[in-house]
């Protein structure tokens, strides 16, 4: 089988149509299991009490926010170097999901921080760079949505995602560095307590649930983008 075949929207469209329900079901099952483990089975944390359970959604959201941006940059490289339409479509299909997860990471982080460290927001390295990452998503979406010519929007977005991803390590380093210069703001998120096995299971389940969810959503959105852009015969032959 030739994998390269799926680089064209016409053959990707029906494949994505068959795959997304699979990932959606996996996401739902893992989420139910992970939430059950996380909310009912996992023991109370001896330092933070019940509130630590936010970790089961906070950490997956933060990881997905970061990871999706890197995947977008990877698709951006493909889109610019091989001029493939589908990579650019996948890149743009991922952006709203990445932005959502980054927002949720900030939100859950704030609600976790208040009872645990006494403040909703702290300018620590991780939170600050997550905020900057959120702004990078905002910029990407603003740029791609403002350009009417889809081809130009794709390529401009690809370049921006690449430039942004080259900058992410520098941003992360600079923010951590800046934080280390202003002592008194540092703290450790793990709080020193080791995670019980049930906690780890819940966390892993939630991380994979978020993965599967992101894939499912990106596939559905990519299909919508194909329908919006390509002539109907490209995607109408789905029954075949």
Binding residues for another protein (CB under 8 A): 39-40, 44, 49-51, 53-54, 57-58, 61, 80, 96-97, 100, 103-104, 107-108, 111-112, 114-115, 132, 135-136, 138-139, 142-143, 146-147, 151-152, 155-156, 159-160, 162-164, 166-167, 170-171, 173-175, 177-178, 181, 213, 217, 220-221, 223-224, 227-228, 232, 236
Which CB sits closer to another protein, 115 or 200? 115
Instruction: Please tell me the number of Cα atoms within 13 Å of 180 on its side-chain side.
Output: 6
Say whether 43 sits in a helix, a strand or coil: coil
Which CB sits closer to another protein, 2 or 119? 119
CA torsion, ordered 129, 135, 138, 139, to nearest 10 deg: -110
Which CB sits closer to another protein, 24 or 201? 24
Which CB sits closer to another protein, 169 or 187? 169
DSSP 8-class letter at 184: T
| Smallest distance from another protein to CB 2, Å | 28
Other beta carbons less than 10 A from residue 33's beta carbon: 17
Instruction: Please tell me the number of Cα atoms within 13 Å of 135 on its side-chain side.
Output: 9
Which CB sits closer to another protein, 85 or 221? 221
| Smallest distance from another protein to CB 173, Å | 8
| Smallest distance from another protein to CB 3, Å | 26
Instruction: Give, in order, the Cα–Cα distances in Å from 12 to each of 15, 221, 238.
Output: 5, 13, 10
CB 75 within 8 A of CB 68: no
| Smallest distance from another protein to CB 136, Å | 5
| Smallest distance from another protein to CB 83, Å | 11
DSSP 8-class letter at 195: P
Alpha-carbon distance of 88 to 70, in angstroms, equals 14
């Amino acid at each position: 089988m030739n994998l390269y075949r799926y680089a064209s929207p016409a053959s990707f469209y029906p494949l994505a149509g068959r795959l997304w329900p699979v990932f959606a079901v996996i996401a739902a099952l893992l989420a139910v299991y992970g939430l059950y483990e996380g909310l009912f089975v996992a023991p109370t944390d001896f330092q933070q009490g019940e509130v630590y359970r936010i970790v089961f959604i906070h950490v997956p959201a933060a990881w997905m926010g970061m990871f999706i941006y890197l995947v977008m940059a990877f698709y951006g490289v493909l889109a610019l170097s091989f001029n493939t339409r589908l990579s650019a479509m996948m890149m743009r299909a991922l952006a709203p999901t990445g932005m959502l997860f980054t927002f949720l990471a900030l939100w859950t982080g704030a609600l976790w921080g208040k009872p645990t460290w006494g403040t909703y927001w702290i300018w620590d390295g991780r939170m600050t760079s997550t905020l900057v990452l959120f702004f990078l998503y905002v910029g990407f979406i603003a740029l791609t949505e403002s350009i009417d010519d889809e081809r130009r929007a794709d390529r401009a977005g690809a370049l921006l995602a690449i430039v942004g991803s080259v900058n992410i390590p520098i941003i992360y380093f600079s923010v951590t560095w800046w934080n280390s210069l202003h002592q008194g703001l540092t703290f450790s998120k793990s709080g020193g307590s080791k995670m019980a096995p049930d906690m780890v299971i819940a966390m892993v389940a939630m991380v994979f649930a978020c993965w599967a969810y992101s894939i499912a959503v990106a596939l559905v959105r990519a299909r919508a983008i194909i329908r919006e852009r390509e002539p109907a015969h490209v995607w109408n032959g789905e029954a075949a």
